[in-house]
Amino acid sequence: MNLHKTGITRLSLTILLQLLLAGAAQALPIISEVYYDAPGSDDGQSFVELAGEVGTSLDGFVLEGVNGANGAVGPAITLSGSIGANGLFVVADRMSDGSTSVLGADLLANFDFQNGPDSIVLRQGSTIFDAVGYGVFAPSEFFAGEGTSAPDASSGSSLARIFANADSDDNANDFAVLLSPTPGVADFAPIPEPGAALLLGLGLFGLAAGAPMRLE
């Protein structure tokens, strides 16, 4: 993977190191990509991609939209099924005829998440596993994401994690705009054993401070 082509910066490497040093245990599943503003009609185009451990059951999980204007919740999508062999699960908007334009969708539902400023929350019962808020929130508006908000993706673009399985609890650091949405495809950060994390981290810092680098 060419880090410069994907827009990953030294700051991103620093965040990755912090995640590695924290160990492999993370609150998965998490939201890895959202596409909410297709050119023209959003019907059958929108999707939310989740990342998690292969085989993780999503039964009982719910995806909720939170309106940035007033904090109202909706839509709410009750999930079912499990994380696939690629570590991802794609929830796609369903058209009136029961089909979708999203290739490789794992679950179809009728939803339309709004353009920002808004938030999307992944919960199981009262436990929030992940939340992403996007757009510029005024002081009187409702931000239900983590840390500071991610950018609002323009029409035809999606909002995706730099690494699908890396969560620093700050949307602005974790997410970037993708010009071309990639449902079911994502980059994953390597999660080494805790003893190897420090060695890898030291290497990342040394490389980040010097010449451009590539990770294959």
**Residue 78 is part of a domain; what is its CATH number?**
2.60.40
Whether residue 130 sits in one domain with residue 116: yes
pLDDT of residue 35: 98
Taking the C-alpha atoms of residue 165 and residue 90, their distance in angstroms, rounded to an integer, is 15
Peptide bond just before 212 cis, omega within 30 deg: no
> What's the chain's Rg over C-alpha atoms?
17
Please give the tally of structural domains in the chain. Answer: 2
Whether residue 37 sits in one domain with residue 136: yes
Whether residue 55 sits in one domain with residue 7: no
Residue 161 phi/psi, 5° resolution?
-65, 145
pLDDT of residue 191: 64
Q: Which domain holds residue 207?
A: 1-24+191-211
Whether residue 200 sits in one domain with residue 155: no
Whether residue 196 sits in one domain with residue 184: no
3-state SS assignment for residue 71: coil
pLDDT of residue 18: 52
Residues in the chain where the model's pLDDT stays below 70: 1-27, 191-216
Whether residue 138 sits in one domain with residue 105: yes
- Core vs surface per residue 132-141: b (16+ CB within 10 A) or e: bbbbebeeeb
pLDDT of residue 17: 52
- The answer to the question of residue 114 being in a domain is yes
Taking the C-alpha atoms of residue 216 and residue 214, their distance in angstroms, rounded to an integer, is 6
